[in-house]
Amino acid sequence: MAEPTEIDSHSPNPRDDAVESPEQATAGRQSSPSGHRSSGKSQSSTKSLSLSGSVFEQIVENERSYANEKYFMPCDEQEQTRLAILYQCFTSVLNGQPSFQSIPRNAQRILEIGTGTGDWAVAVAERFPNAEITATDITCFQPTHVPPNVFFEIDDAQEEWTYTEPFDFIHIRGLAGAFSNWPAVYAQAYQHLQTNGVLEVADFGTISLGEPIADSYLSIYNGACASAAEKSGYPLGLDHMKKTVIEKAGLSIGKSRTFDVPLGTWASDPRKKVAGKMALIATLEGLESTSLRLLTRHMDWKVEDVRDLCGKVQGELMRPDARPFIPCHFIVARKLPI
């Protein structure tokens, strides 16, 4: 396999699929087991955490914490670490920029859906001190350092949005599998954007091996997770990033691009090595995070079987000749004047 496509967002890219707007010639997810882990099928309990005096119940299954009964990804410290690494990976892919589409310097209101650890919201708040940044998620990972112009809210973007003022820029990243009805989310984004406001959506695709292995454990893993997500009603694929889905909400696609990010340091380019090292760590950490609830709840797998498969996938990804990579997709849409 040839090396991944260039990860400099300002350089020509063989997989660039830019669509000019009228206004301008315009990821990965085996955590290494630590300590004793129970085996058998999924086991649940609850625990509480608080944000600004409010108390939220979390569900504990198989020693991982989850925000609710629906979302498949955990929300514990282990996941926070993965998300922090993933944020750095995105930043490297984007050549140090917070987003693929430049945020207007005069932006007054910015919204992030699915803020996770809040790293993106904090970074944007520091870059745009005169803008008000609202960062939402279904659970609270509020960082210790919070600029005065960023506001964290517990909110489910699948419910009705109740904002009274429109936004200049809406950012959604890494939420494949989070929503059962993406068109409804996009419709609300359209409703709550300023005229000429921008929506940016970013997500990772499926992990691939540069040197294919027949009947690989990775292919079993990818197939099992996709089947489980489909069965759950929250599909993992990237259908939500199709042009037709976004345009149906009234938005106009400005540009889209895919970057193939190496997993590991096998690429020759120094910048790709940096991004690849972080992407590999986040991917290895995310193998179990992505699959544990999906496969135990929807495919009746035993916990130890999920972890065994994750360990085998990890071994494949770490093979010197594997040259694994993961596609990173970006799409930018705009609310045009009527």
Check residue 209 and give its pLDDT.
96
Three-class HEC string of 122-174: HHHHHHCCCCEEEEEECCCCCCCCCCCCEEEEECCCCCCCCCCCCEEEEEEEC
CB-count burial class (<10 Å; 0-12, 13-18, 19+) for 132: middle
| pLDDT tens figures, 93-142 | 999 999 999 999 999 999 999 999 999 999 999 999 999 999 999 987 76
Report which of residues 213 and 121 the model is more confident about. 121
Check residue 111 and give its pLDDT.
98
Report which of residues 223 and 213 the model is more confident about. 223
How far apart CA 4 and CA 259 sit, in angstroms, is: 7
Check residue 58 and give its pLDDT.
83
Report which of residues 195 and 39 the model is more confident about. 195
Say if residue 44's pLDDT is above 90. Answer: no
pLDDT category at 145 given cuts 50, 70, 90 is confident
How far apart CA 122 and CA 115 sit, in angstroms, is: 10
How far apart CA 327 and CA 304 sit, in angstroms, is: 29
How far apart CA 106 and CA 130 sit, in angstroms, is: 8
Lowest-confidence region among 15-29, 130-144, 218-232: 15-29
Is the separation of the CB atoms in 291 and 220 below 8 Å? no
| pLDDT tens figures, 147-195 | 999 999 999 999 999 999 999 999 999 999 999 999 999 999 999 999 9
Query: Per-residue pLDDT averaged across 29-51, rounded?
Result: 37
Query: Per-residue pLDDT averaged across 306-324, rounded?
Result: 97
Say if residue 317's pLDDT is above 60. Answer: yes
3-class secondary-structure state, position 19: coil
Query: What does the mean pLDDT of the chain come to?
Result: 86
State what percent of residues in the chain have pLDDT above 70: 83
3-class secondary-structure state, position 184: helix
Q: Which of 51-55, 237-241, 291-295 has the highest mean pLDDT?
A: 291-295
Say if residue 54's pLDDT is above 70. Answer: no
